[in-house]
Every structure is written in structure tokens, then in C-alpha cells.
């Protein structure tokens, strides 16, 4: 009964979202500036750490990777991009980051197997979006949702003013998508708890952003390596 109500509730919310979506597209227009930045820095990290084969491959398809990372946020798909750090679930009535990341990864693998490489990288970009989202405290702790947009706009303002959040080493590799999602969620929440008592907003935002963006870059690089290797093992890639 609860599950049925959740599904109905989620469906009703989605109906409201789609009703206002044309207005959102005109006013807000999601460009995923931060996600594209993370992708670029993740590729730089691959090169710095000597993963030249992976770097050259994804550099060739960076356009598709960034198109996928942007698409993942369109049409209010972002309502499924949450993963509570202790409950292991998304927003009430919706899917969650682990389910969505797994789904997009499977779609990417299927596209690769059909020799549709560009489409495969596109869906891989969508999966990367989820890996990156769960490094953000507001995506893993529902109590922080109100501050999400302010924090995101602060980061964008810094990136647009040539401020750099750049990991130079330490690619983070895990064996499964679940490990990427759960470990990033734990990191995000711990980072928030560590900095929550800093009263100066600028200092607090900088400390949190510096930590989570660099980890997003490291884990995105690790996730790209995991996927690339899985395609090689299956002999889909030479």
C-alpha cells in the first residue's frame, strides 16, 4: 500500500513538473556548467596519471560525454538524482541516484555492443552526472535541500571568474557502481558535517566545494576507467 501511494505521489509530482517545464526551459535553461567542468578535469586527471589510452578515447568523444551529462538534468530527471546517505533511497516517490546511474550505464554498454559508440558515450555521460551529484551534500541529506541552489550558483560564479577546483592526483577507483555512489554519498555528508559550524559563508562554501569537486573529478575519472576496461574485457573495444 505504501509503495503504491509512493508511486502515485511521485507520478503526481512529475505531472506538475512537466506542466511547468516549458517555462523552466525559457527562464532557467540548465547548462550543467559544473558537470561539464568536472568532466574536463577528470579527463585532464586521466592524462596526468598516465591513462593515455583512456584519455585519448574520451577526449575524442568529449562532446557526447558533455551532451549526456547535460541531458541527465533535463525534463526534471534531477528529481531522481538523490541518494540518502543512511536510508539508501531517493526523494519520496522517486527513483534514486544508484538506480539511475546503473540504468544509464547499462544503456551505455548496450549502445557500445551495437557499435553505437557516440550514443554509448552519451549515456555514459548521463551516468557520470549521477556519480558527480552524490558528491554534493544536498543530494544525500534531504534536510539541506533549501540551500542547494545557492551553493550551486556560488560554485558557478567562482568557475566563471576563473577560480579553479582542480584535482592533480589520486584517481579514485572502485569495482562497482554501488561503491561509487555509496562512498561518494558518505564523503559528501562527512564533508558537510566537518564544515557546518564555519560561520563565514564564503569560507564554508569554499572548504566544502574544494573537497567535493575534487572528489567528483577523481571518482569520475575512476568511473570512466571502470567502464572503459569493462568494454575491453567484453572485447567491445580493441
Q: Which three cell numbers stand for residue 97?
A: 541516484
Model pTM score: 0.86
pLDDT (tens digit, 9 = 90+) per residue, 168-207? 899 999 999 999 999 999 999 999 999 999 999 999 999 9
Residue 164's pLDDT band, with cuts at 50, 70 and 90, is: confident
Torsion of CA 231, 234, 236, 238, to 10 degrees: 90
Q: How much is the pLDDT for 29?
A: 43
Please check the confidence at residue 2 and state whether its pLDDT lies above 60. no
Percent over 70 (pLDDT), the chain: 85
Q: How much is the pLDDT for 72?
A: 94
Please check the confidence at residue 77 and state whether its pLDDT lies above 90. no
State the Cα angle at 31 between 92 and 75, rounded to 5°: 40
Gap between the terminal Cα atoms of the chain: 50
In angstroms, rounded to a whole number, what is the distance separating the alpha carbons of residues 202 and 24? 29
Q: Please, what are the domains in the chain?
A: 21-236 (1.10.575.10)
Q: How much is the pLDDT for 145?
A: 66
The better pLDDT of the pair 76, 185 is held by 185
pLDDT (tens digit, 9 = 90+) per residue, 94-149? 999 999 999 999 999 999 999 999 999 999 999 999 999 999 999 998 777 677 78
Percent over 90 (pLDDT), the chain: 67
Name the least confident of 25-34, 68-77, 86-95: 25-34
Give yes or no for a contact between 220 and 38, defined as CB atoms under 8 angstroms apart.
yes
Residue 163's pLDDT band, with cuts at 50, 70 and 90, is: confident
In angstroms, rounded to a whole number, what is the distance separating the alpha carbons of residues 58 and 40? 10
Please check the confidence at residue 44 and state whether its pLDDT lies above 70. yes
Q: How much is the pLDDT for 162?
A: 66
Q: Which three cell numbers stand for residue 161?
A: 571568474
Give yes or no for a contact between 54 and 228, defined as CB atoms under 8 angstroms apart.
yes
pLDDT (tens digit, 9 = 90+) per residue, 211-227? 999 999 999 999 999 99
Please check the confidence at residue 232 and state whether its pLDDT lies above 50. yes
Amino acid at each position: 500500500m505504501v509503495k503504491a501511494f509512493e508511486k502515485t505521489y511521485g507520478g503526481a509530482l512529475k505531472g506538475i513538473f512537466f506542466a511547468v517545464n516549458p517555462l523552466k526551459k525559457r527562464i532557467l535553461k540548465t547548462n550543467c556548467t559544473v558537470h561539464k567542468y568536472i568532466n574536463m578535469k577528470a579527463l585532464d586527471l586521466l592524462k596526468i596519471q598516465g591513462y593515455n589510452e583512456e584519455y585519448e578515447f574520451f577526449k575524442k568523444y568529449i562532446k557526447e560525454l558533455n551532451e549526456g551529462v547535460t541531458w541527465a538534468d533535463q525534463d526534471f530527471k534531477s528529481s531522481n538524482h538523490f541518494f540518502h546517505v543512511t536510508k539508501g533511497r531517493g526523494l519520496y516517490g522517486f527513483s534514486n541516484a544508484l538506480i539511475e546511474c546503473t540504468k544509464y550505464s547499462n544503456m551505455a554498454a548496450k549502445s557500445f555492443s551495437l557499435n553505437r559508440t557516440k550514443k554509448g558515450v552519451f549515456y555514459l555521460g548521463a551516468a557520470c552526472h549521477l556519480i558527480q551529484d552524490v558528491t554534493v551534500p544536498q543530494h544525500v541529506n534531504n534536510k539541506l535541500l533549501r540551500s542547494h541552489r545557492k551553493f550551486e550558483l556560488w560554485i558557478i560564479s567562482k568557475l566563471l571568474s576563473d577560480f579553479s577546483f582542480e584535482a592533480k592526483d589520486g584517481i579514485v577507483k572502485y569495482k562497482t557502481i554501488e561503491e561509487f555512489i555509496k562512498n561518494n554519498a558518505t564523503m559528501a555528508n562527512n564533508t558537510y558535517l566537518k564544515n557546518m559550524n564555519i560561520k563565514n559563508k564564503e569560507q564554508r562554501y569554499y572548504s566544502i566545494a574544494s573537497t567535493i569537486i575534487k572528489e567528483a573529478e577523481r571518482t569520475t575519472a575512476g568511473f570512466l576507467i571502470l567502464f572503459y576496461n569493462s568494454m575491453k574485457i567484453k572485447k567491445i573495444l580493441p
